[in-house]
Amino acid sequence: MQNIQSAIPGVTYPLQERAAASLANGAWVGSTVGDALRATAARYPDRPGFIGEDRTLSFCELDELSERLGAALLNLGLVTGDRAIFQLGTTVDTAIVLLACYKAGIVPVCSLPQHREVEIGQLATQSGARGYFVQADFGAFDLVGFAQKMAAQHPLIAHLVVVRGTADGLTAMDSLIASITFEAAQERLKNIPLGSEDVLSFQLSGGTTGVPKIIPRFHAEYLGHSTAWMRRYRIDSDSRVIWSLPLLHNAGQLYTLIPAALIGVTVVLMSKVDIPRMLDLIAEHRITHALSIGPIAPQLLAYTDIATHDLSSLRLFATMSRADNLEAHINVPCSNLFGITEGLLLGSPADASAFARHHTQGASGCPQDEIRLLVPETEQDVQPGEMGELCFRGPSSLSGFFNAPEANAKAFTSDGFYRTGDMMTAHVVDGITCYAFEGRLRDNINRGGEKIGCEEVEGFVSQHPAVADAKLVAMPDPFYGEKGCVFIVARPGMDVPDVKTLAAFLSGQGLAKYKCPERIEVVDSFPLTRVGKLDKPALKQRILQQLQDEAHSKEATV
């Protein structure tokens, strides 16, 4: 019998045979995140758990505050299995709220403070969220007022909780914690219906359309997934990591929150990317591991005062790409990585060969993961050395998107391998098969770790009165990796808006700012393939060539 206590309709749970095998072979951890934190707090009560810009919490304090908040949320009216929107920054308070929800069985929905009407509306509707956590002091935008408006538009949202501040008539996190003692909270949470195979969180797929697909992740498999990653990167209970990106992201959870709760890793949190401050914190707190899935590595490469900082404690810096350049710049072992929320992580430790670390994205830390490279749109393996679509199955691989039978029918091979849409080549390095990222089949943009679905943005751009049609493609960017360039066919006699005007129009439609195109190219028509279909590769090549020509022209005039 599987240890599922609070089943959520629409969730595809792993088969019983897979769950039993994963627990038996150690690929899953037979616990909940809450129980893992309780055990860690008993083992390292006075060790710093999370170190933030304005407060530091020991594991004992973290356990008590999250216990009290978790019980108070249930007393408020939320129940185990409820989902909750999160618009919270990277702070110690966010860690408290997440861990409180995990203890109470409330399922966080991966959402960001930067999301606006479009994204929050979609996520609230799809997830059926009843809770909403919002940060009062996040930037100049009135996030609390925005959350109130969104909650009013979605009647299922019954409880809005303000974090890091107060608002008239709204429930505050601090008042919830103060409403119950630690002992009463322990008693309240002791018998809630929550097992190791229940849903932990709702993550999001980086899909190509405007409607994100929700990926349920589970306590036992997420704990096991993080354990495999820690094993691959040589992270142990004495390690210290630093993090400045969203905590709700798959990487934020697996790299920081779960290691802290599970084995007692100390985590230093930064609310924003600040390279000089990050380097100072690495020296101050003797950080051992740092990771970049966004613009951190390019900023580091552009920072010229590296020699003034003490990085002697740092054992590994992992990044999405350019690990060779970064290693030469900071004189610390660096490795490329790959991660996909559907359940695969690739990387290389500091003692791997330079080729594995710098010219591949590494290998999985989970021995039970199975990886194939297939000829796109087939189930045929590519020949050795050839590029193919990365497909995988394993203990932590997606069982099915939430409430999405049509998407599930297309997402897997006939024998259950998930199709990533990412193109890779395989390289055997010191007896280990490592995979090098070559590009994507799917139509999306990875802007500093944030995925932008091209179809979604195209639909919004095409609503502008001067636009007859629009196509969005990725263009290379030294800072974010990729940005969006939109090709526009104008309506006769009308002037196409500039980038700033178009961004204001799209933001007015409720689209998050980071999704707005950052370059506009006006064309008479779009290129077509020989069979009459849109040729997006030709558009990508056009903007790439244009950027190269502009760079050469600039160099010639210097």
pLDDT for 555: 76
pLDDT digits (tens, 9 = 90+) for 457-476: 888 898 899 987 889 999 99
pLDDT digits (tens, 9 = 90+) for 253-276: 999 999 999 999 999 999 998 999
- Spatial separation of the C-alpha atoms in residues 240 and 316, rounded to whole Å: 11
Fold matches, 273-440 and 448-557:
no
Q: Helices 219-233 and 33-43 meet at what angle, rounded to 10?
A: 50
Q: Indicate if the pLDDT at residue 557 is higher than 80.
A: no
Q: Indicate if the pLDDT at residue 399 is higher than 60.
A: yes
- Spatial separation of the C-alpha atoms in residues 130 and 145, rounded to whole Å: 18
What is the chain's alpha carbon radius of gyration, rounded to the nearest angstrom? 23
- Spatial separation of the C-alpha atoms in residues 396 and 11, rounded to whole Å: 15
Check: CB of residue 365 under 8 Å from CB of residue 231.
Answer: yes
Q: Which of 196, 212, 218, 156 is nearest to 12 (CA)?
A: 218
CATH architecture of 25-219: 3-Layer(aba) Sandwich (3.40)
Q: Indicate if the pLDDT at residue 177 is higher than 90.
A: yes
Alpha helices (runs of H) in 25-81, residue ranges in sequence order: 33-43, 59-76
Q: Beta 131-135 vs 83-87: how paired, if at all?
A: parallel
Res. 535 pLDDT band, cuts 50 70 90: confident
Entry field: residues in the chain = 558
Q: Which of 185, 33, 172, 177 is nearest to 106 (CA)?
A: 33
> Mapped to the 3 state alphabet, what secondary structure does 311-371 carry?
CCCCCEEEECCCHHHHHHHHCCCEEECEEECCCEEEECCCCCCHHHHHHCCCECCCCCCEE
DSSP string, 252-273: HIIIIIHHHHHH--EEEE-SS-
Res. 1 pLDDT band, cuts 50 70 90: very low
Percent of the residues in the chain that have a pLDDT greater than 90, as a whole number: 78
Res. 207 pLDDT band, cuts 50 70 90: low
**Percent helix, strand and coil across the chain, each rounded to 5?**
35, 25, 40
Would you list the domain boundaries of the chain? 25-219, 273-440, 448-557
Q: Indicate if the pLDDT at residue 208 is higher than 60.
A: no
Res. 295 pLDDT band, cuts 50 70 90: confident
Res. 532 pLDDT band, cuts 50 70 90: low
Res. 314 pLDDT band, cuts 50 70 90: very high
pLDDT for 531: 46
Which CATH superfamily groups domain 448-557?
A: ANL, C-terminal domain (3.30.300.30)
Q: Indicate if the pLDDT at residue 519 is higher than 70.
A: yes
Q: Indicate if the pLDDT at residue 72 is higher than 90.
A: yes
- Spatial separation of the C-alpha atoms in residues 128 and 263, rounded to whole Å: 33
- Spatial separation of the C-alpha atoms in residues 96 and 261, rounded to whole Å: 11
Q: Which of 368, 429, 359 is nearest to 393 (CA)?
A: 368
> Mapped to the 3 state alphabet, what secondary structure does 68-95 carry?
HHHHHHHHHCCCCCCEEEEECCCCHHHH
- Spatial separation of the C-alpha atoms in residues 188 and 182, rounded to whole Å: 10
pLDDT digits (tens, 9 = 90+) for 324-378: 999 999 999 999 999 999 999 999 999 999 999 999 999 999 999 999 999 988 9
Domain covering 273-440 in this structure, CATH number: 3.40.50.12780
